[in-house]
Amino acid sequence: MDSQKKTYTPSRIAPSVALGQNTLGFMLPYTPLHHLILKRMNRPIVLTSGNLSDEPQCIDNDEAREKLGKIADYFLFHNRQIVNRVDDSVVRVVGNKVQIVRRARGYAPAPIHLPPGFNRVPQILAMGSELKNTFCLLQDTKAIVSQHLGDLENAVAFRAYQDMLNLYLNLFEYKPEAIAVDLHPEYLSAKLGKELASVHQYGYSTTVPLLYIQHHHAHIAACMVENGVPIDSPPILGVAFDGLGYGGDGTLWGGEFLLADYRQFKRLATFKPVAMIGGKQAIKEPWRNTYAQLISCFSWEDLKQNYGNLEIINFLDKKPLKLLNQVIEKQINSPKTSSVGRLFDAVAAAIGICQEKCSYEGQAAVEMEAACDTASAVKLPAYRTILESSSTTIGYSFTIETVDNLYHINPHPMWKALLDDLQQQVKPSIIAAKFHLGLANLIVETINLICHKHDIKCVALSGGVFQNKILLEQVTVKLKALNFKVLTHSLVPTNDGGLSLGQAAIAAASLQNT
């Protein structure tokens, strides 16, 4: 009998794990129960949350059995009630600095200290966003940001959000003196905040101040708070790129350069607005963004004549283009947006990444970022030549125009060069790298233009698009080489998970000024 201990033989990880990615997340056991289970397994295991897609985790034995019975082969039940539902946190290292993607277990609800000048702060409740929601309580000189609570458009997640909010209010014996909400009138968090601002107590109806905070201003303010920018500091230049947020002019923003302090902001530059065909459906089906981008730069007849052999043109030509053109022209559920997140979707679909549909918001952009590194993995020298080049001519170019005293960034030359590359059968990984570098060069060029005009040397980078490691590192390195002070996130997510902190800070500064 062979008494030698069996050892684990490494093998390739199944392609279904982290599909479309080239990085893996690793967890260490953080409870005694994990140790007891895992010490008998002489191999790694794949973990996922105990929930249905878009829903919070199951925290009750019967609920788990009912919802997950057709998914899980075995259950480990317990007789202790789970009171506080907490996701696992997700972090990554970008430029030798930890960046929190999802702030939950191990981080929340540890308080974040407010910068100098935030004294005599009233108790402010900030309700957060619609996606990747957190809420925030200001208390004394500290901000208590909740754990990640998910996307509130799901009814189960919204109920869990309300339950967690009540738990925090009771736990901290918190009575809000003001409530801050996102400017978007249809966000469920904003609607709930409006309800909470009108309270009924001891037989009397009273109200607390309700402050509406612009989405991208909140992104920049959150970045300022965690970097210790004092309340009365002069304005900085904030660059806020994301999927979308409700703008101060009633349109949808998502690619903004803002001159901002804690109390106010001025929009100085933006991307050319392009239709989101089908509204939210454009988030799920990236090809819609590709078509909207292309016909905003070219006529469809010219595209078919000059690039009719391309797969993306043939793919789009099979769609109901006449109907799509009508909904754009008549503005039927096709609002225009300056979103850089949707631009990423459009480029990704053009080169064959998540062309038809996405299973989660931002998937196309995430997989296109991974495609750049795939080029490196297969030792294509052009990849490093592109991303490590100091030249501004290798990446795709954009033009900066002036429209109504506002810089408008036009992607027309980028699309022309990209389509030409596709026609020359340039590999998608190289096209993805050229897009990333071109966008980074554009951001730095625009920042330089604005900061020279307004005598600014401090820049804050925020919004979900800056979760992109390649883009963030490229922009940060180039700005520091020009002697800019660059503020980025490390205490709260750069995505909407950090929005409530910014909302609370803006509300506090506004009330302290009155």
Spatial distance between the Cα atoms of 440 and 436, rounded to a whole number of angstroms: 6
Angstrom distances, CA of residue 408 to CA of 219, 403, 414, 457 = 21, 6, 14, 22
Sequence-ordered list of residues with C-beta below 8 angstroms from that of 76, at least 6 positions apart, any chain: 33, 37
pLDDT class for 119, splitting at 50, 70, 90? Answer: confident
Query: Is the omega angle on the peptide bond into residue 109 within 30 degrees of 0, that is, cis?
Result: yes
- Percent of the chain clearing pLDDT 70 (strictly above): 92
Q: Residue 104's pLDDT is what?
A: 94
Angle value at C-alpha 21, between 15 and 26, nearest 5 degrees: 85
pLDDT class for 130, splitting at 50, 70, 90? Answer: very high
**Which amino acid does the sequence have at 121?**
V
Please give the model's pTM, rounded to 2 decimal places: 0.92
- Mean pLDDT, range 194-203, rounded to an integer: 71
Give 309 or 30, the one with higher predicted confidence: 309
- Mean pLDDT, range 346-358, rounded to an integer: 97
Fold of 92-215+497-512: Nucleotidyltransferase; domain 5 (3.30.420)
Spatial distance between the Cα atoms of 215 and 498, rounded to a whole number of angstroms: 11
pLDDT, tens only, 311-326 = 999 999 999 999 999 9
Strand pairing category for 178-182 and 124-126: parallel
| φ/ψ of residue 235, rounded to 5 | -60, 150
Q: Residue 39's pLDDT is what?
A: 82
Q: Residue 55's pLDDT is what?
A: 86
- Percent of the chain clearing pLDDT 90 (strictly above): 73
Q: Residue 391's pLDDT is what?
A: 54
Element holding 225 (H helix, E strand): helix 215-226
Quick check: 8 pLDDT over 60? no
pLDDT, tens only, 40-88 = 887 777 777 788 888 888 989 999 999 999 888 888 898 988 888 888 8
Strand-pair partners of 402: 407
**DSSP-based three-state secondary structure for 101:** strand
Q: Residue 203's pLDDT is what?
A: 47
Q: Residue 393's pLDDT is what?
A: 53
Quick check: 201 pLDDT over 80? no
Quick check: 33 pLDDT over 50? yes
**Which amino acid does the sequence have at 201?**
Q
Quick check: 309 pLDDT over 50? yes
Give 273 or 378, the one with higher predicted confidence: 273
pLDDT, tens only, 359-401 = 888 999 999 999 986 544 334 445 455 666 555 558 999 999 9
pLDDT, tens only, 137-154 = 999 899 999 999 999 999
Q: Where are the domains of the chain?
A: 92-215+497-512
Give 112 or 6, the one with higher predicted confidence: 112
244-248: long-range contacts (C-beta < 8 A, 24 or more apart)? 244/276, 244/337, 244/339, 244/341, 244/342, 245/182, 245/183, 245/184, 245/214, 245/215, 245/216, 245/219, 246/182, 246/183, 246/184, 246/185, 246/214, 246/215, 247/183, 247/214, 247/215, 247/216, 248/183, 248/214
Q: Residue 378's pLDDT is what?
A: 38
Spatial distance between the Cα atoms of 512 and 514, rounded to a whole number of angstroms: 6
Sequence-ordered list of residues with C-beta below 8 angstroms from that of 111, at least 6 positions apart, any chain: 139, 142, 143, 144
